[in-house]
Amino acid sequence: MTVAVFLGSLLAAMALGIPIAYALLISGAALMWHMNMFDAQILAQNTINGADSFPLLAVPFFMLAGEIMNAGGLSKRIVNLALTLVGHVRGGLGYVTVMAAVMMAALSGSAVADTAALAALLLPMMVRAGHDKAKAGGLIASAGIIAPVIPPSIGFVIFGVAANVSITKLFLAGIVPGLLLGLAIAITWYLVAKKENITPPPKASAPVRWAALRESTWALFLPVIVLVGLKMGVFTPTEAAVVAAVYALFVAVFVYKELKFSQLYALFASAARTTAVVMFLVAAAMVSAWMITVAQLPAELVAMLQPFLDNQTLLLIMIMLLVIAVGTAMDMTPTILILTPVLMPVVKAAGIDPVYFGVLFIINNAIGLITPPVGTVLNVVAGVGKMKMDQVTLGVLPFMAAQLIVLFLLVLFPQLVLGPLKLFY
């Protein structure tokens, strides 16, 4: 009955169009009422405690770093570097998109920010070159969701806080899976581009390539600082976020000189608004998480899944299918906050490594960003590219299928995640 009360109140509130943060508060209050322990003070305390977390400070700083990179010319120079390196091959602009997405993912960790930048910079170029707009939009959308997987990742920060898992380990474990997602997209683009008869631009000369590399060096140095600092224990993920924001600000203002001090207020305000949404979601989710624990819903779920606990692969496949279904109707952050406290006890009972599960879980949620009808990243591409949603949806399908294949390969072969983690950590 408690499961029905929780899910029923949450889904009913969402169906009425109530924002997810308030729907989470309503579901928590409904559980309290059902258990005859309603207390407004408990609601308030859990809401405040939910946002009172040092690791969560990484979120606003990574958000700010992404805003600064897009406005300050860092993203533009990375795209230009990729263009000089692979733009001349058949379907080269598609490979430029994938390469730029991987490099930008190592800078900001925000799928929406990276996708917006890629769509604004590359979609017009691909259309002018003769590529089908829907396919180009689908490629950019699928490339944009690499950002939550390759560190630094805002999704890993939120999951690490919600699941009490090492964020540093999550960051390092996400490197190889993120690169595999990029490789899968590139292979799919090769198959798609073969059907298009488009003459690629001429190959860039060595001096032009060298100039592009020299221009982008300052931007490319940022992920090196973050990853080396994390591995060497110089700073925590939260401190890494501060370093990323300050470094991006320094490069944008004093090196590239494309960001003026008069623009900073607008950037800070934009990052603050986005952060406020995320932090309120986290705070509201902690009320539901506390009530889920008190109502012993995880114990009920563990009991229901008892026959599958001995088969980790089958259990993970079932969980991944569940998350895919949820991802079609819910955005990444609320999905993480709602499902993590429910699924983690099951994962631990089955003896699955929490870091390994976290990587799979975040990849699955990232793919949810390009699954209709919600598909936040699809909406970004459609908005920036002035396209219809169904066009982008059709264009993204082959790339989404490739990423789902990677996800289930990681389920079948855990060493693809755990092996590199042992090497990096």
Neighbours of 329 (CB within 10 A): 14
Q: CA 367 to CA 405: how far, in whole Å? A: 11
Provide the CA 25 distance to its chain's centre, in angstroms: 24
pLDDT of residue 298: 66
The residues near 308 (Cβ < 8 Å, ≥ 6 apart) are 314, 315, 318, 350
Under 8 Å between Cβ of 117 and 70: yes
Q: Is 73 left (phi over 0), alpha (psi -120 to 50) or beta?
A: left
Q: Is 296 left (phi over 0), alpha (psi -120 to 50) or beta?
A: left
Q: Residue 419's closest CA among 163, 179, 172? A: 172
pLDDT of residue 3: 66
Under 8 Å between Cβ of 74 and 248: yes
Question: What's the helix, strand, coil split of the chain in %, to 5?
Answer: 80, 0, 20
Q: CA 401 to CA 184: how far, in whole Å? A: 9
Long-range contacts of 353-357 (CB under 8 A, 24+ apart): 353/414, 353/418, 354/163, 354/165, 355/165, 355/166, 355/169, 355/170, 355/173, 355/417, 355/421, 356/173, 356/414, 356/417, 356/418, 356/421, 357/316
Q: CA 128 to CA 138: how far, in whole Å? A: 16
Looking up tokens 């939260």 gives: 238
Q: Output the pTM of the full model.
A: 0.85
Domains of the chain: which residue ranges? 39-424
Long-range contacts of 8-11 (CB under 8 A, 24+ apart): 10/288, 10/338
Count of CA atoms in the C-beta half-sphere (13 A) of 388 = 3
Per-residue pLDDT of the chain (425 residues; tens, 9 = 90+): 666 777 788 778 877 878 877 887 888 788 788 777 777 777 777 777 767 777 778 888 888 888 888 888 888 888 888 888 887 777 788 888 998 889 888 877 778 888 888 888 888 888 888 888 999 999 999 999 999 999 888 889 999 988 989 998 999 999 999 999 999 999 999 998 887 777 777 788 888 889 988 988 898 888 888 888 887 778 888 888 888 889 999 999 999 888 888 888 998 998 888 888 778 877 887 777 777 767 766 666 677 777 777 889 999 998 999 888 888 877 788 888 888 888 888 898 889 999 999 999 999 999 998 987 767 888 888 888 888 888 898 999 999 999 999 999 999 999 999 988 888 76
pLDDT of residue 2: 67
Kindly give the residue spans of alpha helices, DSSP state H, lying in 72-200. Answer: 74-86, 92-105, 111-129, 133-144, 154-163, 167-173, 175-193
pLDDT of residue 339: 85
Token pair belonging to 174: 């996400």
Q: Is 115 left (phi over 0), alpha (psi -120 to 50) or beta?
A: alpha
Token pair belonging to 380: 């970004």
Under 8 Å between Cβ of 111 and 366: yes
* Exposed e or buried b per residue across 8-26, where buried means at least 16 C-beta atoms within 10 angstroms of its C-beta: ebbeebbeeeeebbebbbb
